[in-house]
Amino acid sequence: MAIVSKGREARTDYKVIGYHVGYTVVQAYIRSGRTHQIRVHFSSIGHPIFADSTYGNKSKLLNRQFLHAYFLEFRLPSTGEVRSFITELPPDLKKVLADLR
């Protein structure tokens, strides 16, 4: 769960969707699906996930990483059917965004 020269390939694309003083909100697209991929990638470029005590810093505003899977889509291995799911930002993360404003 680190970036190493002989490690397995992993790719994360992202798009900036908003700014707050000292923080940036991004939409990340996981292209490979490695353990802790988003957390490792953002930490490696000097922008750890908010409140990530393993790869960044703890926060008094949140007791978990500020990560949310808004949209998930995958193909069921048994049938090949594509399934998609959308979930809105939960109240604890909405509160953090409001507090940062």
What ranges do the domains of the chain cover?
12-100
What's residue 3's pLDDT?
A: 67
Contacts of 98 (CB under 8 A, 6+ apart): none
Q: What is the CA radius of gyration of the chain?
A: 15
pLDDT tens string, the chain, 101 residues long: the values are 666 667 778 889 999 999 988 899 999 998 887 889 999 999 999 999 999 999 999 999 999 999 999 999 999 999 999 999 999 999 999 999 998 87
Measured CA to CA, the distance from residue 27 to residue 86 in angstroms comes to 14
What's residue 2's pLDDT?
A: 62
DSSP state letter for 88: P
Query: Which stretch of DSSP H or E encloses residue 24?
Result: strand 23-30
What's residue 1's pLDDT?
A: 62
Q: Are strands 71-75 and 82-86 parallel, antiparallel or unpaired?
A: antiparallel
Q: Which residues are paired to 86 by β-bridges?
A: 71
Task: Please state the φ and ψ torsions of residue 84, each to the nearest 5 degrees.
Answer: -125, 145
